[in-house]
Amino acid sequence: MENKLRIMIVDDEPIVGKRLKRLFEKEGFEVGTCTRGSVAIEELKRKHFDIVITDLMMGNVDGMKILEFVKTNHHVTRVIIITGFGKKETAAEAFSKGAFAFIIKPFKIDELREVVRKACAGLKAKSAS
Amino acid sequence: MQLKIWHKMIIGISIPALITLTGGFFTYAYINDVKLRHGFVEIADDLRDRVLEVRRSEKNFVLHKTEEYYNYCNDGINILNRSLNGISPEIAEQVGKNDFSFLRDSLKAYSGLLIDLLGHYRQEDIFIEKVRDEGRKLEAFVKTEKHAPELSINFVLDLRRLEKDYMLFRDTASFNRMNDALSEVNSLVPSCPDCARYPEAINDLISVYNKINAMENDLLIAGRGIEDTTNRIAQSERQKVNAFFTSTQRFLMIVLILFCTLIPLFVYQTASYVVAPIKRLADITRKISEGDMTLRAPIKEHDETYTLAVSFNRMLDHLQLTRSSLEKSLELLHEKHVEVEKRASLGFLVSGVAHELNNPLNNISLTAETMKEDLQELSTEELREHIQDIISQSERAKHIIEELLDFAGTRKSTAMEKLDIINVLAESINLVANQLKVSHIHLKKDIHKTPVFIKGNQSKLEEIFVNIMVNAIHAMKESGTLSICAKPDEKEKSITVEISDTGCGIPKKYLNNIFEPFYTTKQSGLGTGLGLAVTRSLVEKHSGDIDVRSKVGEGTTFTVRFPLYTETD
């Protein structure tokens, strides 16, 4: 159980959290969900997460803030952005801030699964070295 | 009376002219009459002068008792007669026919008296001669002293002196003295025929004298009568002329007064008669210019103003028609403006909504994929939950699209009805909510909790709020706070909605114009320039008012106020 990777899912749409939690638990991850950015940051302070999947538009503390927080505090953690407002500029900003991937809603489960797998591979490679 | 202006003018000018002419004519006639009368005065004066001449000759004749003076008298009478005969019967009629016939008769009698008197004068001369003769005889007789010793020569001489005195003075005193002496002669020598002849001669003379005296008296009376008559004629003619002068003066005075009062009155009347229709037209023109286009010029007179009034009315009809069609075009144009502005807002809103749609779509696809992958593993309970999620997310997507379509104008009703403005405001905020999210704009609401009713149109009110909010979002670009405050004022019977942004603000010099159509400070392509003009006209359609205050760098606040719904609405 110790080598289970932790995934944090932040989205103000509760359905996204529910579905992805089930999906990734089946894949063997330990999954935490949040619908508010501020709660997510509190959780991230408390616990280490290997992957953070976050929405962008969420009111006051949005995905970009979470990305910034993660990159300053746990730079190993991979951050995957999922958003319905897929603008080029936003994507560029996210990548420049260190996002691992930028996925536009609505996405296919396989698409996300693939990205997460790649992230995990990177993490394993890092921890191996 | 229906007269043309120039007819009125001619009447207005010719009547005073006629009055003047009549006055002038009468004055001329009067003066002519006076001239004629003056001629009569001259005639009468002439007559009187001649009569005086005759009377002077008469006096001389009576004094000198000679034929020469009689001839003078006669000449005078002849001249006078000629003058009298020279007077035409018309003039005699005018001056006094009776006077002239009296004059003629008197003159005839007068000249008869004169000739009689001349005869008597000659007789007197004879008798005087006889008296002298008898006197001388008596003297001679007495001087002989044999025939009548009673008579002294001195007495006779005295008698003769008395006789001379009497003949000289012919007065009663000298007559009495002489008569006394003669009686004495008779008593002294009663039977002396020689002595008796002298008193007889004197008595004859006395009787002639008496006759002459009577005649002279008659002559005097006749002369005086003639003189008086001519005097009277002259005087009465003079009086008549004077009376004529007085009445002419009075007449002229009356004419003058009539002139001074009637003519201005008439001129004024004519002028007002001419001016009245023009004035009526002017009044109407003024009233129309004040805005009442339904008024028309009265068509009463059939003069030149008739054409004017008719043309004027036709022009007004035309103008009114043009205006109403223009108003219709303007209304249409306004509708177009509203439409254009709505499309602009819609374009802006669509990008937000499109992104917003991705969320329910993502939820649906995610749920559906999960079901597909784990169909066998999912419990009936879980399956029901998944299906329910799909249904509710489909509803959500439908709702988002509906909202947009609603705003886009599938709801075309323009009816004004009682509606809750708080609800309308909430729906409007919903429409821009996604845009706020995209632009990182924080929304601060201070909105009355319970429904507030006004009379209005849902889609128009939504457009008002959306327009203002879209403007605010544009002003803030990226990030800022949009504050919306809605509070009813029970006292003022109105509700005020304040929409403030923390954007760039509007410079003071633009503030006055921002509600004008096509006035925009936005970059070209960003705005239609119609937004606020349309917004204001929509607010005014709701009997409301809109106001703006702004500070550069701090933000802008739009205040919209609507009257509350009342039962009478």
- The residue ranges of every structural domain in chain B are 5-257, 328-563
Count of alpha carbons within 13 angstroms of residue B506, beta-carbon side: 23
Inter-chain residue contact B362 with A22, CB threshold 8 Å? no
Mean pLDDT in residue range B428-449: 85
pLDDT score, position B168: 83
Residue of B nearest to A58 (CA): B437
pLDDT score, position A6: 93
Please calculate the CA angle B147-B152-B155 and round it to the nearest 5 degrees: 130
Q: Assign B524 a pLDDT band (cuts: 50, 70, 90).
A: very low
CA distances B522 to B154, B513, B519, B551, Å, are 172, 14, 9, 17
pLDDT score, position B525: 47
pLDDT score, position B495: 92
Most B CBs within 10 A among A15, A22, A56, hence the mutation to make, goes to A15
- What pairs with residue B524 in β-bridges? B527
pLDDT score, position B413: 66
- Tell whether B388 is within 8 A of chain A (Cβ): no
Q: How far apart are CA B431 and CA B349, in angstroms?
A: 7
Inter-chain residue contact A16 with B393, CB threshold 8 Å? no
Residue B123 in contact with residue B208, Cβ under 8 Å?
yes
> What are the percentages of helix, strand and coil residues in chain A, rounded to 5?
50, 20, 30
Nearest partner of B468 among B437, B445, B440, B501, judged by Cα: B501
Domain ranges of chain A: 6-128
This model's pTM is above 0.90: no
Written as six digits, the tokens of B357 are 């749609």
Q: Assign B14 a pLDDT band (cuts: 50, 70, 90).
A: confident
Residue A15: which of B357, B393, B442 has the nearest Cβ?
A: B393
Q: Match 């005075």 to its residue by tokens.
A: B253
Q: How far apart are CA A91 and CA A81, in angstroms?
A: 9
Residue of B nearest to A59 (CA): B437
Residue of A nearest to B361 (CA): A106
Nearest partner of B528 among B341, B338, B334, B332, judged by Cα: B341
- Tell whether B356 is within 8 A of chain A (Cβ): yes
pLDDT score, position B81: 87
CA distances B167 to B128, B134, B135, B171, B201, Å, are 9, 15, 13, 9, 13
Q: How far apart are CA B94 and CA B510, in angstroms?
A: 104
Q: Over chain B, what is the mean pLDDT? A: 83
Residue A13: which of B355, B363, B437 has the nearest Cβ?
A: B363
Q: Any idea which architecture A6-128 has in CATH?
A: 3-Layer(aba) Sandwich (3.40)
Written as six digits, the tokens of A58 are 């969420």
pLDDT score, position B166: 84
pLDDT score, position B532: 80
Torsion on CA atoms A98, A100, A103, A109, rounded to nearest 10:
-160
pLDDT score, position B517: 65
What pLDDT digit, counting tens, does each position of A1-31 carry? 457 899 999 998 899 999 999 999 998 999 9
Q: How far apart are CA B550 and CA B23, in angstroms?
A: 85
Residue B363: which of A16, A86, A109 has the nearest Cβ?
A: A16
Q: Domain B328-563 is in which class?
A: alpha beta
Mean pLDDT in residue range B417-424: 90
Nearest partner of B488 among B424, B565, B567, judged by Cα: B565
What pLDDT digit, counting tens, does each position of B528-556 carry? 556 787 888 888 888 899 988 888 888 88
Amino acid at B204: D
Chain A residue numbers touching B365 (CB-CB < 8 A): 106-108
Name the A residues in 105-124 with CB < 8 Å from any B CB: 105-109
Torsion on CA atoms B240, B245, B251, B257, rounded to nearest 10:
-160
Mean pLDDT in residue range B94-110: 84
Q: How far apart are CA B450 and CA B421, in angstroms?
A: 10
Residue A33 in contact with residue A9, Cβ under 8 Å?
yes
Chain A residue numbers touching B393 (CB-CB < 8 A): 15
